[in-house]
Structure 1
Amino acid sequence: MQQIDWIVIVLTIFFIVIYGVWKTKGSKNVNEYILGNNETPWYTVGISVMATQASAITFLSTPGQAFNDGMGFVQFYFGLPIAMVIICYTFIPIYHKLKVFTAYEYLEKRFDLKTRSLAAILFLVQRGLGTGLTIYAPSIILSSILGWNLTQMNIIIGTLVIVYTFSGGTKAVNVTHKQQMFIIMLGMFTAFYLIVSGLPENISFTNALQIAGANDKMNIIDFSVDPKNRYTFWSGITGGLFLMLSYFGTDQSQVQRYLSGKSIRESQMGLLFNGLLKVPMQFFILLTGVMVYVFFQFQTLPLNFNPNSKVIIENSAYKNDYKVLESKLANVLEEKKQVTIDYANQLNIDVENPVLKRRISALSEKEKSIRDQAKELISKADNKDKTNDADYIFIHYIITYLPKGLVGLLLAVILCAAMSSTASGLNALASTTVIDIYKRNVKEEKNEKHFVSATKMFTVMWGVVAILFACVGTLFENLIQLVNIIGSIFYGTVLGIFLVGFYIKFVKAKAILWGAVISQTTIFFIYYFAIHIYPSGQEKLGYLWLNFIGAMLTVVISSLLQTIFKEDPETIEA
């Protein structure tokens, strides 16, 4: 990296931290620290909701996901707009009516303290893991590509976020999200423009899309009903819908964003704003990954994008075998490059040559086979190493092909995205710990200042936990999928509790508690025996279905148990 890149990164990051501290210092009470005094306008709510979900993992892993598998991942988000409408007209009015600080307060009023505590603990477990990943994702990739120390990267990112989140609470998170999203989108649009501009002169954007289609990267919608397929139209509008309902409706990291809105209407408008823009944004990020794929059809590529893999192979008995595969790949890529150019020339005279298209597809399969063989060698050389390199593809493009200064901008994008999600996570973890656990178990009367101090203390505590988890983490198959898998294991049960609370009035506390426990236990077993023990791509169930199954199990089991239990505690109308 050049000096100008370092200047861009340092100035960008420190501007955000200093701005966040300056704009939000001095919160005097819990409402101000946790909900920002309910002064957040709708557009800031919408941007903050979007920035919370758009972590560094989104901008590192999603282009790699599209590079390998095409546009199909966008189906994951098909249920999001529907979820936004349901949350706007069910969840938000109830939360505002009850004047809650966290989503889980509602559960005590509807059921009892045990149910509230169970939901809060499930949230703390999965969000604690997720927040560690939002630090770990950019750290491990940047450290591998740039030679930075991984542990130091984790500590730096985590500490910077702790500083302004500790200082200003929710308001600091919200105001910094605006700057972060501006930098993120500026960087992504710049990258997209440069990728398309970097294609050969005779390759137009339309040609690039057709080349991507010839490589099976433009299959956006899959109507398959096979539950083994991870991303289909049906899994998106069922499992994806339930995941989004739970994430945006019951995950405190998101709920806290719109609970800070000025009014019910402002909160609703913020969520709808997110619902309208989120799917196009993810489509654009995936399309960026597809354009990177097309760009690389005309470049020399490594056999594996993870630089750690090359080091492992060079120091193993499989070094010569790997070189043979590198030679084979080079020959395939050279032939594929020429065939692609011929195919594009045919397209420019309005003639699509099916023979060339089939040849491109066959060469793509051959390339994939060679890369898979390389991964097997890497795995043999070091069975602890994760051979999937999807998370390194986009960063490889940034470091190798972007001009001076813009490398710094794109790295700043990644770091800003890491900070935005991590800040929301820490803010929500601290708020939930204080409001749902600590405050409910403190027997003595404490003033507002005490609970503000406690929230700050738990912000630091969870920040340290997240940094420690990031420091001992392992690179999984694909980070964007890992985050969603972790969420899917827990979200269904939590959502089921809320659905029963909102819509099934005859179910009481004891039934929902045991229904949730049985449901969560069942999901653990389903995940292990249908997903975890199988290699990637050979699972017996797509993980998105866990959200639907968990929610439905909670609803059905608690309803059945209520016919057995005879309790009748008071309930609230919602």
Structure 2
Amino acid sequence: MAENQITNIANTFGVVDYIVFSAALITSAAIGVYFACSGNKQKTTKEFLLADGNMSVWPVSMSLFASFMSAISTLGIPSDTYTYGLMFIYAALGFIPAMFFAGHLYIPVFYNLKLTSIYEYLEMRFNRITRIICVCSYLIQMTLYMSVVLYAPSLALSAVTGINVWISTISVATVCIFYTAIGGMKAVMWTDTVQAVIMLAGVIAVVTKGFLTVGWDKVWRDAEESGRLNLLVPKLTFDPNPLIRQNFWSLVVGQGVFWMGTYGASQAQVQRSLTLPSLKKAKIALWINLPLLMTNISLASIAGIIIYSYFRDCDPLTSGAITAVDQLYPLFVMEVLGHIPGFAGLIVAAVLSGSLSTISTGLNSLSAVVLVDLIQPFRKQPLRDDHATVISKVIAVSSGLVAVLLTIMVAEVDGVLQIAFTILSVCGGPILGVFSLGMFFPQANGKGAICGLLMSLIITAWFGFGAQFNKQHEYKYPTSTEGCNWRNSSFLYNNTEIIYNTTTIEPHINSNLGWNSTNNYMYSISYHYLMPLACVVCTMFGLPVSLLTGGCGIEGADPMLISPPIRRICCGLSKKYLDETSDFDTIEIRMEKSSQGVVLRSARDLTEEKESKFEADDTE
């Protein structure tokens, strides 16, 4: 179509756009300076890592939303929809069970124990080896994920805006490290709030302008004719076969478990919940976060079919205007909004705000984990609080620098959504599995936990990274270049000579729509199932080994370390006791830091004291 032809828009990122983009970065830095100079000026670890435990619900909710709904989602979901159809929108439904189970099964245990690092729980419940393995896995997970989140969006944006990729990368990293290191958790969550607003404003602007430019009817008609409106395809949508890349089951179940692990058993997100003054408020923050997540997923998916309709007759990837599918979103923005001063800057700021929020989340959580799990337990004398705070800040800066260096490894990343979910699932899935083993199975012991954790890590890494290195053929929806008007021509695009290919791919619907076409089924399992697979493997190996090695003895695990609903079923505690301990504001868990690390002294004593008190009350 003539009106949809790609033009040389590399120079349309003008002065006003740079001002808007710079203003977003300066605002984030200013928030860090404010919190560095207010309150206790980030002089204590409780303030630096947990915001003194007195945050309000709204900024925590916005931070929970922004932390993992990053630039990966902003770029990856539209390109995924463009390539594979609207199916990914079902992932929004997966958030509902994820929030429910995270809030009622996992968060209460961590909140009860008043932990700084959730991995302290693993030593209380199992042993130090399990704790250290999970800590190392988390460090690898977050460092790799931060490098992808930092570099991939900068690379995609540079290709269509003319912003140098390293200028963008270094600018985002510098600002993020700065405000995280000086402003602590309060700065992180309030900047997340600002960035969440920018992210939502950006995707709303793109969808609104997209419908106005292309036309409401045309968008849906093109999606249906090309097969991308594939929400109710009989052979695809509800087929339980795990080899289908994504459908209703893989997205609702797989993404449900993925986000349950992210919000219920990830240091980055649980640490935010622990900044609230009560468990009730922590649950409210999760539920407020839910509609924001669902809205963002839905709008980003719809943006993908708008982009397809706009480029229907002139696919930018096939024609050579772009080199990676993740550049579709910024290219569309520059084509449709680039002529409006400031709008392109807003969208670029929205994309990179996602990077800022995710990286700051990672840096703050890594500070907590390294300090509490890798430094304090191996010291003969506890660190002074002011020294611990300084070390936390140094860790934040160092982690940021490592993430910047690792961006070289992801320079060739294409399809950032899948690689991001793979990294998070391969490392995070076994962690979720071992936490679930500890909280849901009272007879699970340390030997079973180590066995289940290691087997889960090996098998999930084999499947997940094996699929990345052994690329399988996947059906992609048809595209066309028949509407391009530069047949057999070339011109300079962003200082690169582009020679256009005018091959036309005729639209059709494949009878094996969405299936991986391969005989290597091991690497064809949908990446959405990696997290559930990790949990199943951990339990499948961990529980039998625990039972064969004596379990946790006659008394079983300490009830305070078991998820509340499981306590009611398995531990035989009185309802009156459980109702009392449901109010975690009234519980004080005394922790002792010794040369052996952080040890739970009084959970069982507290249980016995509470039961004795209730029995005495009943007698009276």
The verdict on a shared fold, with TM-score over 0.5 as the criterion, is: yes
Match of 1:180 among 195, 198, 204: 195
Match of 1:499 among 419, 433, 436: 436
Aligned partners of 2:315, 2:530: CA distance in 1, in Å?
A: 37
Aligned partners of 1:474, 1:306: CA distance in 2, in Å?
A: 19
Aligned partners of 2:102, 2:16: CA distance in 1, in Å?
A: 45
Match of 1:112 among 115, 119, 127: 127
Aligned to 2:508: none
1:433-448 aligned at under 5 Å gives the runs 433-448=370-385
User: What TM-score do the two structures reach when normalised by structure 1?
Assistant: 0.81
1:360-509 aligned at under 5 Å gives the runs 389-402=324-337, 403-509=340-446
Deviations along 1:372-403, one digit per CA (max 9) or x if unpaired, are xxxxxxxxxxxxxxxxx220111111122212
Aligned to 2:78: 63
Match of 2:105 among 90, 94, 99: 90
Match of 1:159 among 174, 177, 202: 174
Q: What SS is found at the alignment partner of 2:548?
A: coil
Deviations along 1:448-473, one digit per CA (max 9) or x if unpaired, are 11111111010011000111111342
| Structure 1 residue 409: Cα displacement | 1.0
Match of 1:564 among 548, 568, 587: 548
Aligned to 2:536: 552
Aligned partners of 1:196, 1:493: CA distance in 2, in Å?
A: 42
Aligned to 1:103: 118
Matched AA of 2:226: N
Aligned partners of 2:464, 2:149: CA distance in 1, in Å?
A: 23
The 10-residue stretch of structure 1 (89-98 or 145-154) with the greater mean CA deviation from structure 2:
145-154
| Structure 1 residue 232: Cα displacement | 1.5
| Structure 1 residue 528: Cα displacement | 5.1
The 10-residue stretch of structure 1 (146-155 or 89-98) with the greater mean CA deviation from structure 2:
146-155
Aligned partners of 2:315, 2:466: CA distance in 1, in Å?
A: 37
Aligned to 1:212: 223
| Structure 1 residue 305: Cα displacement | 7.2
Q: What SS is found at the alignment partner of 1:238?
A: helix
Residues matched between the structures, number: 490
1:144 and 1:307 in contact (8 A); partners too: no
Task: Evaluate the alpha carbon distance shift between residue 530 and residue 129 of structure 1 in structure 2; reply closer, same or farther with a 3 A threshold.
Answer: closer
Aligned to 2:34: 22
Matched AA of 1:123: Y
Aligned to 1:241: 256
**Which sections of structure 2, spanning at least 5 residues, go unmatched?**
1-12, 475-515, 517-522, 563-620
| Structure 1 residue 529: Cα displacement | 5.3
Match of 1:516 among 443, 453, 476: 453
Aligned partners of 1:140, 1:534: CA distance in 2, in Å?
A: 22
Aligned partners of 2:262, 2:210: CA distance in 1, in Å?
A: 33
1:20-419 aligned at under 5 Å gives the runs 20-25=32-37, 26-199=41-214, 203=215, 205-220=216-231, 222-297=237-312, 301-304=315-318, 309=323, 389-402=324-337, 403-419=340-356
Matched AA of 1:242: V
Matched AA of 1:464: L
Larger relative helix fraction: 1
**Which sections of structure 1, spanning at least 5 residues, go unmatched?**
310-388
Task: Evaluate the alpha carbon distance shift between residue 303 and residue 176 of structure 1 in structure 2; reply closer, same or farther with a 3 A threshold.
Answer: closer
User: What TM-score do the two structures reach when normalised by structure 2?
Assistant: 0.76
Task: Evaluate the alpha carbon distance shift between residue 71 and residue 439 of structure 1 in structure 2; reply closer, same or farther with a 3 A threshold.
Answer: same
The 10-residue stretch of structure 1 (132-141 or 437-446) with the greater mean CA deviation from structure 2:
437-446
2:433 and 2:535 in contact (8 A); partners too: yes
| Structure 1 residue 48: Cα displacement | 0.5
Task: Evaluate the alpha carbon distance shift between residue 419 and residue 528 of structure 1 in structure 2; reply closer, same or farther with a 3 A threshold.
Answer: closer
Task: Evaluate the alpha carbon distance shift between residue 291 and residue 506 of structure 1 in structure 2; reply closer, same or farther with a 3 A threshold.
Answer: same
Q: What SS is found at the alignment partner of 2:316?
A: coil
1:75 and 1:231 in contact (8 A); partners too: no
Matched AA of 1:8: V
Matched AA of 1:180: Q
Aligned partners of 1:306, 1:34: CA distance in 2, in Å?
A: 47
1:496 and 1:552 in contact (8 A); partners too: yes
1:492 and 1:547 in contact (8 A); partners too: yes
Deviations along 1:266-312, one digit per CA (max 9) or x if unpaired, are 110111122233123201111012112222337x5535476574xxx
| Structure 1 residue 84: Cα displacement | 0.8
| RMSD (Å) for aligned C-alpha atoms | 2.0
Aligned partners of 1:149, 1:528: CA distance in 2, in Å?
A: 30
Matched AA of 1:215: S
Deviations along 1:204-224, one digit per CA (max 9) or x if unpaired, are x24422332222222235111
1:151 and 1:471 in contact (8 A); partners too: no
1:305 and 1:396 in contact (8 A); partners too: no
Aligned partners of 2:102, 2:322: CA distance in 1, in Å?
A: 44
The 10-residue stretch of structure 1 (446-455 or 219-228) with the greater mean CA deviation from structure 2:
219-228
Matched AA of 1:182: V
2:64 and 2:286 in contact (8 A); partners too: yes
Matched AA of 1:134: V
Deviations along 1:411-449, one digit per CA (max 9) or x if unpaired, are 111121111111111111121111111111122232111
